[in-house]
């Protein structure tokens, strides 16, 4: 690891975003406040264009400007990204790429202005779920802003939770960890558990969306507020009876409203309870630190949304023995789990894959027939095998005829197979 370094993390969410940083002088990441000396960590995920001044603005300034000119401010960037629709500001149409670029420029300018951070070795962006469209757009934007591909990482909140946890004292996660995430648009429950008897240790995060049951709008109604306290008490009792829980984290604006009474009293019995905003952004900062070469991550296998859960191996003949070559390993971020390989067909018209679950250790096999490929003499057909994940639940395998040099030209023959991951775990 470098003797001196600076890493940055951005938690990019629908309503608010946050920033954290860490350098070689710090014992842990610190959140960035938009005003030095204050704890103003939440930056509205909003961007506006002030036509009179020919400049862009973000965060609270954009929200303030929205009151003067509603048509010049965008507060739904994530929706525009995921639906691949443009954004109209002051009657001019922009692509999501253009608008989100201005938002990230504003975040980086904020860090440079207030904290004099100019050189960033690694940057991690955490999002609720690393959708392919979102991942590609953020990676492209950061690339345009000068970051090298190897210095960029995009992770989901569940993965961020794992990074945060493994950098904490073991006593906080000797048993299960519960995280309740309550914001304007969502209420998520995550449970982190560790299988310590295995090497590397699987750290598993299960998540459950309860946004239809717990809503911010209920907090304005005294009766619904009381009812939500009771519902939350039922939920945490059920979870704490079913699992041994060491630590509970309450994160998000929803937990800063005055609605928990019976539930919080029960929650604080015989377990550690923490409340705050910055768990996910600090988890992102720890992920950035790991990118520098700290070995802590290698001790664990991440099992969560955004990571692959099966090994995919290709059967090949080596010195007259059938062996398996790894194409994709479990525990990889799905958008980085692609592979390419070339083989020469030797008395076969198919390829065979072995799929091994990292959870159950079960082994299953998938045969892909190449019957539509041209008939040629033995050992004169090269096949390119391309593996790419569509998301963390689906993997695409394409086998393409590459011909055989000048003797046999490549054709359009190919076979495309979709692997539904859930069938193999």
Model pLDDT for residues 245-279, shown as the tens digit of each residue: 999 999 999 999 999 999 999 999 989 999 999 99
The CA-atom distances, in angstroms, between 165 and each of 69, 194, 247, 286 are: 43, 11, 10, 10
pLDDT of residue 129: 92
Q: How far apart are CA 375 and CA 180, in angstroms?
A: 59
CA distance 76 to 338: 31
* Structure confidence at residue 169 (pLDDT): 95
Domains in the chain (CATH in brackets) are 6-155 (3.30.420.40), 160-277+292-303 (3.30.420), 310-424 (2.60.34.10)
Question: 11-15, 26-30, 89-93, 233-237: lowest mean pLDDT where?
Answer: 89-93
CA distances from 17 to 32, 44, 268 (A): 11, 6, 29
| 151-171 burial code (b ≥16 CB/10 A, e <16) | bbbbbbbbbbbbbbbbbeeee
Triad 253, 255, 257: Cα angle to 5°? 85
Determine the pLDDT at residue 1: 55
* Eight-state DSSP code of residue 32: P
Check residue 349 and give its pLDDT: 93
DSSP 237-293: HHHHHHS-EEEEEEESGGGGSTT-SHHHHHHTTTSEEEEES-HHHHHHHHHHHHHTT
Residue with tokens 């990118």: 291
Confidence of residue 295 (pLDDT cuts 50, 70, 90): low
Quote the pLDDT of residue 2.
63
Phi/psi for 5 (5° steps) reads: -160, 165
Q: Given this model, what pLDDT does residue 194 score? A: 95
The Cβ of residue 283 has, within 10 Å, a number of other Cβ atoms equal to: 28
d(CA 42, CA 351): 52
CA 153 – CA 63 distance, rounded (Å):
29
Of the candidates 340, 300, 79, which has an alpha carbon nearest to the alpha carbon of residue 170? 300
Question: Residues 189, 177, 249, 305: what is their CA dihedral angle, to the nearest 10 degrees?
Answer: -50
Which pLDDT tens digit goes with each residue over 364-410?
A: 999 999 999 999 999 999 999 999 999 999 999 999 999 999 999 99
Q: Around Cβ 145, how many Cβ atoms within 10 Å?
A: 13
CA dist 107 and 48 (Å) reads: 13
Residue 425 pLDDT grade (very low, low, confident, very high; cuts 50, 70, 90) = confident
């Amino acid at each position: 690891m470098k003797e001196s370094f600076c890493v940055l993390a951005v938690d990019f969410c629908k309503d608010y975003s946050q920033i954290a940083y860490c350098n070689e002088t710090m014992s842990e990441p610190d959140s960035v406040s938009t005003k030095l000396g204050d704890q103003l960590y939440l930056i509205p995920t909003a961007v506006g264009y002030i036509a009179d001044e020919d400049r862009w603005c973000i965060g609270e300034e954009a929200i303030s400007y929205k009151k003067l000119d509603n048509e010049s401010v965008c507060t739904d960037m994530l929706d525009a990204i995921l639906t691949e629709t443009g954004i109209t500001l002051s009657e001019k149409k922009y692509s999501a790429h253009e608008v989100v670029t201005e938002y990230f420029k504003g975040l980086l300018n904020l860090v440079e202005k207030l904290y004099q951070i100019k050189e960033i070795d690694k940057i991690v962006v955490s999002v609720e779920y690393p959708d392919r469209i979102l991942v590609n757009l953020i990676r492209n934007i950061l690339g345009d802003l000068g970051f090298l591909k190897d210095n960029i990482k995009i992770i989901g909140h569940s993965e961020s939770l794992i990074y945060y946890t493994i950098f904490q004292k073991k006593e906080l996660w000797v048993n299960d960890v519960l995280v309740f995430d309550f914001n304007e648009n969502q209420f998520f429950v995550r449970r982190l558990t560790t299988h310590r008897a295995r090497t590397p240790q699987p750290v598993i995060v299960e998540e459950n969306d309860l946004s239809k049951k717990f809503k911010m709008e209920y907090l304005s109604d005294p009766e619904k507020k009381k009812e939500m306290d009771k519902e939350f008490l039922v939920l945490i009792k059920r979870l704490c009876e079913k699992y041994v829980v060491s630590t509970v984290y309450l994160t998000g604006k929803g937990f800063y409203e005055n609605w928990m009474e019976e539930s919080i009293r029960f929650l604080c019995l015989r377990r550690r309870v923490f409340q705050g905003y910055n768990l996910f952004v600090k988890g992102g900062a720890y992920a950035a630190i790991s990118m520098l070469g700290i070995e802590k991550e290698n001790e664990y296998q991440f099992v969560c949304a955004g990571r692959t859960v099966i090994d995919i191996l290709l059967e090949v003949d080596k010195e007259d023995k059938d062996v398996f070559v790894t194409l994709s390993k479990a525990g990889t971020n799905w958008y980085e789990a692609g592979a390419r390989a070339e083989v020469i067909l030797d008395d076969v018209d198919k390829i065979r894959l072995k799929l091994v679950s990292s959870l159950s250790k079960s082994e299953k096999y998938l045969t892909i027939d190449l019957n539509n490929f041209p008939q040629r003499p033995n050992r004169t057909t090269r096949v390119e095998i391309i593996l790419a994940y569509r998301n963390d639940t689906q993997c695409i395998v394409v086998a393409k005829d590459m011909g055989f040099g000048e003797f046999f030209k490549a054709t359009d023959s190919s076979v495309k197979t979709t692997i539904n991951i859930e069938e193999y775990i």
